[in-house]
Chains A and B, each alone.
Chain A
Amino acid sequence: MDMIVHPALLFLALAIGGVGVALSIPRRRFQASLVGGIIAATGVGLLIVGLGGSALSGDGTLPSPVFHVLAIIALGSCLQVITHRRPVYAALYFILSILATAGLYILLAAEFMAFALVIIYAGAILITYLFVIMLASQSQVEGQEEGLAEYDAVGRGPITATVASFALLAALTVLVFSGLKDIPAPDAARVAAAEMAVLDRLPGKVEKALAREGLIESGEIVVGVEEAQGVATAVVRGIGGGQRRVALPESVSVTNTEGLAFNLLGDYPGTIEIAGVILLMAMLGAVVLARKFAQIDEEAKAAAAAALAEGSTTGGQGHA
Chain B
Amino acid sequence: MLDLFLAQSAFPQAMGQGVLAHYLFVSAAMFTLGLVGFLTRRNLIIMFLCTEMMFQAAGIALVAFSRYHLNYDGQTFVIFVLTVAAAEAALALALVVFLFRKRDSLSAEAWLEMKG
Interface residues of A (CB under 8 A from B): 4, 17, 21, 25, 44, 47-48, 51-52, 54-56, 58-67, 71, 74-75, 78-79, 81-82, 87, 90-91, 94, 97-98, 101, 104-110, 112-113, 116-117, 120-121, 124-125, 128-129, 132-133, 135-136, 138, 149-152, 154-158, 160-162, 164-166, 168-169, 172-173, 176-177, 180-181, 183, 185-186, 191, 194-195, 253, 256, 259-260, 263-264, 267-268, 271, 275, 278-279, 281-283, 285-286, 289-290, 292-293
Contact = CB atoms under 8 A, between A and B. Distances in A.
Nearest to B95: A289
Measured as residues with beta carbon below 8 angstroms from the partner, the interface class of chain B is 35 or more
Interface secondary structure of A, over-half rule: helix
Interface secondary structure of B, over-half rule: helix
23 contacts: A47-B25, A48-B22, A51-B22, A59-B17, A61-B15, A64-B7, A67-B22, A71-B22, A75-B29, A82-B46, A90-B46, A108-B23, A116-B82, A138-B104, A138-B105, A156-B41, A161-B35, A166-B32, A183-B17, A186-B69, A191-B71, A271-B80, A285-B94
A97 B18 contact: no
A165 B40 CA distance: 11
Contact of B64 (A59, A108, A185): A108
A75 B9 contact: no
A108 B10 CA distance: 9
